[in-house]
């Protein structure tokens, strides 16, 4: 059954370095839905001093798994952010385990709702490592460069403000491989859960950003009814 485009409920899953954040923003713009990322939710709750915010640090140290009692706080929060009952959203960074996926299903079923599509961006680990180890970041303005694809005009120096670029610890191979291992361990059961529900689609994310966006919209457009 087709849905109104601004009621679309999507989940975007992808490894670090797959361009997931960029695609999430594309989806929000195209379908007029809210972008909900766990990082944003945690930051906002930390600023507001909520119980979820107070647990944020604990949550981050626990390797990105939200303690179960906080899952529903988080769902309420993201729902409010997404504009309440009428509006759709794209989730980015959640759910990260099968139990979180089940909690999300229960939460939505309580509102006679469900997830319409789960998009899994797939990219070879070696390709991701190749992208991230060549990334250099400006500590002042946050701009990032790729040593081969988009190098700074002068080696090691930010084009915008002349600061010395840094190779962040996060972008070293061993750390990237560890993050990818964690990602695969967490993602496989979540992907299997949604595959069983018949809403999972895998997308080859090795192409340019615009090609990936085209692939995604080709999958999502048919779900939408023109109002
Ligand atoms: Zn800079």
pLDDT one-digit tens code per residue, 65-95: 555 556 666 667 766 765 655 578 888 878 8
Q: 99-103, 191-195, 202-206: lowest mean pLDDT where?
A: 99-103
Alpha carbon of 42 to ligand 1 centroid (Å): 26
Verify whether residue 218 is a known catalytic residue: no
What six digits make up the tokens of 121? 């961006």
Between CA 204 and CA 202 the distance in angstroms is 7
- Marked catalytic residue, from 44, 143, 168, 215: 168
- pTM, to two decimals: 0.80
Task: Report domain 3-124+181-225's class.
Answer: alpha beta
| Residue 200, phi then psi, degrees to nearest 5 | -90, 135
Highest mean pLDDT among 26-35, 97-106, 132-141: 132-141
Instruction: List pLDDT tens digits, range 3-29.
Output: 887 889 999 999 988 888 889 989 989
C-beta of residue 120 within 8 angstroms of C-beta of residue 191: yes
């Amino acid at each position: 059954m087709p849905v109104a485009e601004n009621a679309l409920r999507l989940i975007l899953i992808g490894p670090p370095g797959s361009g997931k954040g960029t695609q999430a923003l594309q989806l929000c713009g195209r379908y007029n839905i809210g972008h909900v990322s766990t990082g944003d939710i945690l930051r906002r709750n930390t600023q507001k001093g909520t119980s979820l915010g107070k647990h944020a640090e604990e949550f981050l140290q626990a390797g990105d798994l939200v303690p179960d009692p906080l899952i529903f706080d988080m769902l309420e929060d993201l729902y409010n952010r997404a504009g309440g009952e009428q509006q759709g959203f794209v989730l980015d960074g959640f759910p990260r385990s099968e139990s979180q996926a089940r909690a999300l299903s229960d939460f939505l079923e309580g509102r006679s709702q469900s997830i319409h599509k789960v998009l899994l961006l797939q990219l070879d680990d070696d390709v991701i490592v190749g992208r991230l180890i060549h990334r250099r970041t400006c500590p002042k303005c946050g701009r990032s460069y790729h040593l081969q694809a988009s190098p700074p005009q002068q080696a090691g120096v930010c084009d915008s403000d002349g600061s010395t670029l840094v190779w962040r610890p996060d972008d070293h191979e061993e750390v990237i491989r560890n993050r990818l291992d964690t990602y695969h361990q967490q993602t496989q059961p979540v992907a299997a859960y949604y595959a069983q529900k018949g809403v999972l689609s895998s997308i080859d994310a090795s192409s340019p950003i615009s090609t990936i966006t085209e692939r995604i919209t080709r999958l999502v457009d048919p779900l939408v009814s023109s109002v």
